[in-house]
Amino acid sequence: MHGAKRVVVFCCLTVILPAIFIITPLYLRHNVFSDVIYAVAESDIVAMVDGISSVFCQAHYLQMNSSFNAFQLKGTPQISNKRKHIRLKKSMILPDDTFEYWGFFLLHGAIVKLKVCSRYDGSTILVVKGDKHLKTCGMLEKNRKALNTKMDHFKVKVTFEKPAVEIAETDENSMNTAAEVFDEDNMNGSNKIKLDSNKSISIMSAKNISKEKMNATNLNHIDNSEKPFQNRTKRETNFDAHIEHGGTAHNMSEDSVSSFENELLTCYDSQILLKQEFPPSHLCTDVHYLENSSYMQTFHEVESDGYYYYIFYSDNDFVKNDIHAVFDIFKPTYRFSNITSDKSCINVTECLFPISFMSDETVIVEVPTRDGIEHEADDITYLLSRCQPRMTVYMIFPILVLVLILGCAFCEVI
């Protein structure tokens, strides 16, 4: 029995442990700390944390086919008093019982002002807090099967009226709330809906309307079953993410589904922050109408980070409805002003940051806003994040293999 134990110990020291010490660094290098591809869009602010370690990486390499800004920070980035203002204009044509949505990743403190109008009756907006990819409860798939045709998903144009700008720093003690901002917006009435967790959305119109309050149930996060792009595409660790667009507005079927609205409300039950119809106007033919005429406007002050979706749908059995909307989004920014030149890369296509051993440094990438984009496909680019291995750490593993082999040989000699 004593001899059998010696054989087992000898096999462990000469075969199993050396194999572990050889396989482990290979697995770490080619799987855990392999290249990561992030799908990013303009105005994104993304933390590069996947595939990076201060122990196994001596440098962090970034590369993208368009320009970006990158900053290496210690610890968690701090939010600045400045906000980035982005204006988005959107136009939609919705047949009966169809919907179209626009999604944003919004941080705590962000404010969304939405101006919207429709040409005909039956238009409604839902504001939903969901997951990274909005669930559609089979409504998208049902319409695809019914049509059995190729869908053109990029007919709606997205344009920036002006490049993103930063609002000057303000004193938070004297800073207006969303409701106060509304009172100063030359509107004649407001209807503010209070939500749980102190979330609020204010609805404005050109006519006086009575005030009413309602409670919403707690928001639930939903499971995301969709697989990421390619094998290592990541977008989960976003500080600020791109606009998401989708819907069933390509449904041209003549069959009217009377339960469409019920399906929609059931699908997003407990996640709805706002449901509001908006009055029609025969003058609502483009987004310019919203600049010169009366319209409905909503304010949304974000109290928790998350993905927020603005869903437009039409319930008009006779005509396709024209809906026009203008989003004014005021996004929080981060304190990058105190960062030295060796810890930042400005307007570059590739960048390299050294990583100190056992440090808590994080690289934040900011994608600048261009003057305009034609549609969502133009808005997505891919950012490569690469860990340059710290060879002194990886060399420990083969050295341990040699130590084990020499130790076993020495024991055999004794």
- Give the contacts of 108 (CB within 8 A, at least 6 positions apart): 302, 303, 304, 305, 332
- Give the contacts of 358 (CB within 8 A, at least 6 positions apart): 54, 55
- Tokens 């869903």 — which residue? 311
- Tokens 């919705």 — which residue? 94
C-alpha 6/C-alpha 355 separation (Å) is 44
Give the amino acid at 67: S
| Per-residue pLDDT, 246 | 52
Which parts of 75-160 are beta strand (E)? 79-94, 98-106, 111-118, 123-130, 159-160
C-alpha 20/C-alpha 332 separation (Å) is 47
Residue 81: alpha-carbon gap to chain centroid: 21
pLDDT tens digit sequence for 245-264: 555 554 444 444 447 788 87
pLDDT tens digit sequence for 81-131: 778 888 888 888 888 778 888 888 788 888 898 888 899 888 888 888 888
CA distances from 278 to 121, 224, 324, 325 (A): 8, 31, 11, 12
Which parts of the chain have pLDDT scores under 50? Answer: 1, 144-200, 203-237, 242, 250-258, 371-378
| Per-residue pLDDT, 337 | 66
Q: Which CATH class is domain 2-77+336-413?
A: mainly beta
Helix (H, G, I), strand (E, B) or coil at 225: coil
pLDDT tens digit sequence for 135-173: 777 765 555 444 443 333 333 333 333 444 444 444 443
| Per-residue pLDDT, 225 | 37
CA distances from 156 to 44, 94, 206, 276, 292 (A): 21, 11, 27, 22, 22
Helix (H, G, I), strand (E, B) or coil at 57: strand
| Per-residue pLDDT, 142 | 55
C-alpha 192/C-alpha 237 separation (Å) is 32
**Residue extents of the structural domains in the chain:** 2-77+336-413, 79-334
